[in-house]
Amino acid sequence: MTRPGQPEDLDDPRLLWTRAAVMAVCGAAEPASPSGLSVDDDGITADIGGGSYWWKLTLAPDGEAVFSGRDADRSRTRLMDEPVPLLDGLPDRLSWKRLREDMERDALGFVYWHADGAWHRVDYPDDLEDDGLGAPLEHVAGDVETTDWVLLDKRLDDEVNARRAVADVLAKAHENTLRPADVTTMLGVLDPDVGSDAARTKAALDAAVRTGLLAGTRPPLIGAPAE
């Protein structure tokens, strides 16, 4: 990717979401994990490394989305002589309360939004070196990056089979054909202790439902009309 980040560095929102959701499912099965992945009505949040950087992916109706976050070491947008107005140009329908609050407390280093079929961001000053987008892209830029993250720090007897299990879940999730058995199979391959632990398996499956990863389920959308 380029530095600072460019809108074209970001993949289609649904592809990013599927990868983030698989991370969230695996994280839900590992309650002691330092990754801090969580799911709420505003989307999927990853707080990596005890707050050193975080990112959030939020979906909205009609294929729209927001990708926001901050890297404490690399996001220079709030450290310029004139802080970059990251929400300038963001459609009102994609400006929800928590995002505005994050902006007000200087918690944001980058904000990208997907509307009209493309990603956008505010124009940056020519001398801005980095906005911090590179860190989250190390996790969700592609299926390989997501698989690498899922397998990070795991003691695997068979890494080839583990990669195959994660790839299978990602492929089926992209195709909207993922079933609970596919998730539990992956968990068992990654860690037999998780696969045999009903509570941890349930937590992972709950995350798969909440993120809309399983066939027949839907992800949370900001601004969606009440059903």
- Please give the Cα distance from 94 to 53 (Å, whole number): 22
Is pLDDT of 37 > 80? yes
pLDDT reported for residue 110: 96
Confidence of residue 51 (pLDDT cuts 50, 70, 90): low
CA proximity to 181, closest of 214, 217, 211, 147: 214
pLDDT reported for residue 82: 82
- Please give the Cα distance from 129 to 132 (Å, whole number): 9
Is pLDDT of 106 > 70? yes
Is pLDDT of 224 > 90? no
Domain ranges for the chain, please list them: 7-210
Is pLDDT of 36 > 80? no
Is pLDDT of 157 > 90? no
Q: Which of 4-8, 30-34, 65-69 has the lowest average pLDDT?
A: 30-34
CA proximity to 120, closest of 81, 94, 83: 94
Is pLDDT of 41 > 70? yes
CB 7 within 8 A of CB 121: yes
For 65, the enclosing helix (H) or strand (E) is strand 65-71
Interval 156-161 mean pLDDT = 89
> How many CB atoms within 10 Å of residue 155?
5
Interval 141-149 mean pLDDT = 95
